[in-house]
Amino acid sequence: MTEFNWTPDELQKIVEENSIVLFMKGTPDAPQCGFSNRAASVVSQLGVPFASVNVLSDPRARNALRDWSGFPTMPQLFIGGKLIGGSDIALELFQNGELQTLAANASGND
């Protein structure tokens, strides 16, 4: 396993190589925060594969991530390489159907 240092280049690579990426506290199966749980539940309901990154796996992760993305809180959802937002935005866009459209467009470009 190669070393991962949470550099902007490394983070950028993750969101470019995976059409849907959820940076969260814990994992979708064992979320460690209610907001991360909410986001993971929403993204799971899209019914398409997604990558999740556990920011509790490394103490450097959270600061590196927010400096890179400009988004201060966890979780952070990326679709098609673009920051969508946190769990409140994920849920809002899921409820009005826009998240499904974004996901479908992003996976179509893989």
Partner 1 sequence: MIHFIDRLQICWPIITAMAGADWVGSEIKKLVPGATVEVSDLHGTGDHFHVRVISDSFDGMLPLERQRPILDFFMPHIKSGVVHALDLKCMTEEQARVAGNTVFDPHGEGEKQFMGIHIRRPKEK
Residues that bind partner 1 in the complex, under the rule CB under 8 A: 30-31, 33-35, 37-38, 41-42, 45, 56, 63, 66, 70-73, 83-89, 91-93, 95
At its nearest, how many Å lie between partner 1 and the CB of residue 60?
Answer: 13
Contact 48, 105 (CB under 8 A): no
Please provide residue 33's backbone torsions phi and psi, each rounded to the nearest 5 degrees.
Answer: -155, 145
If you search the block for the tokens 């849920």, which residue do you land on? 91
> Residue 23 CB: number of other CB atoms within 10 A?
27
* Cβ contacts of 29 within 8 Å, gap of 6 or more: none
At its nearest, how many Å lie between partner 1 and the CB of residue 110?
Answer: 23
Paired with 3 in beta bridges are none
1 vs 73, beta carbon nearer partner 1: 73
At its nearest, how many Å lie between partner 1 and the CB of residue 71?
Answer: 6
58 vs 88, beta carbon nearer partner 1: 88
At its nearest, how many Å lie between partner 1 and the CB of residue 45?
Answer: 8
1 vs 25, beta carbon nearer partner 1: 25
Element (H, E) at 9: helix 8-17
In three-state secondary structure terms, 73 is coil
1 vs 50, beta carbon nearer partner 1: 50
